[in-house]
Amino acid sequence: MSTARHILALLRSHVEGEEQQFYSAALQMAAHDQGESLLIAATNHPNLLDKALLRRFDDVIKYNLPDSDIIRELIQTRLISFDIDWKDWSKIIEKATGLAQAEIVRATDEAAKQAVLSNSGKVSEKSLISAIMERKEMTLNE
């Protein structure tokens, strides 16, 4: 089995409590890999990573969470085809702060879906904040 496939198999079987086993296996594979391969890893929880694992990578690219301007731009871009019922963005930005871009997009898409299902064509501040808070709860439970 190739290194990449083996890592994917480990990731698929990874459940809480098996972190040490995963790290040990990943370190061993990285140390013994002789093939021409590219290993890319991503995490939403960098604080849980072992420093020895990070040293095995040539580069580490860090993506920061979006600031208020990016949050607003993400939401506006996703809702370009919809009317919105708010003028003040402060509550929405406050609630979305701390979420990754992908989570903000998912929440915005959920609010847009609700607007389509209700045949209103308008996304309400309440539905968007509700979707944002749902995503926040999900990420806190990961």
Q: Let me know whether 34 and 75 are in one domain.
A: no
CATH code of the domain containing 112: 1.10.8.60
Pairwise CA distance, residues 70 & 139, whole Å = 19
Alpha carbon 85 to chain centroid, angstroms:
27
Q: What is the pLDDT of residue 128?
A: 97
Q: What is the pLDDT of residues 8-41, one digit of tens each?
A: 445 444 445 556 666 667 667 766 767 777 777 7
The confidence score (pLDDT) of residue 13 equals 45
The reported pLDDT for the residue numbered 124 is 94
- Say if residue 103 is in the same domain as residue 130: yes
Q: What pLDDT was estimated at residue 33? A: 67
Q: Classify residue 63: in a domain, yes or no.
A: no
pLDDT at 27: 65
- Residue ranges making up the domain that contains 88: 68-140
Burial of 36 (0-12, 13-18, 19+ CB in 10 A): exposed
> Which position has the token pair 């501040």?
125
Q: How far is CA 76 from the centre of its chain?
A: 19
Q: 18 phi and psi, to 5 degrees?
A: -105, 15
Q: What is the pLDDT of residue 12?
A: 44
Residues 29 and 80 in one domain: no
Q: Is the residue at 106 inside a domain?
A: yes
Q: What is the pLDDT of residues 69-120, one digit of tens each?
A: 999 999 999 999 999 989 999 999 999 999 999 999 999 999 999 999 999 8
Helix extents (H) in the chain:
3-13, 19-32, 51-55, 68-78, 90-96, 101-117, 125-140
Quote the percentage of the chain above a pLDDT of 70.
73
**So what's the pLDDT on residue 140?**
73
pLDDT digits (tens, 9 = 90+) for 121-134: 899 999 999 999 99
Tens of pLDDT, residue by residue over 53-76, are 677 777 888 888 999 999 999 999
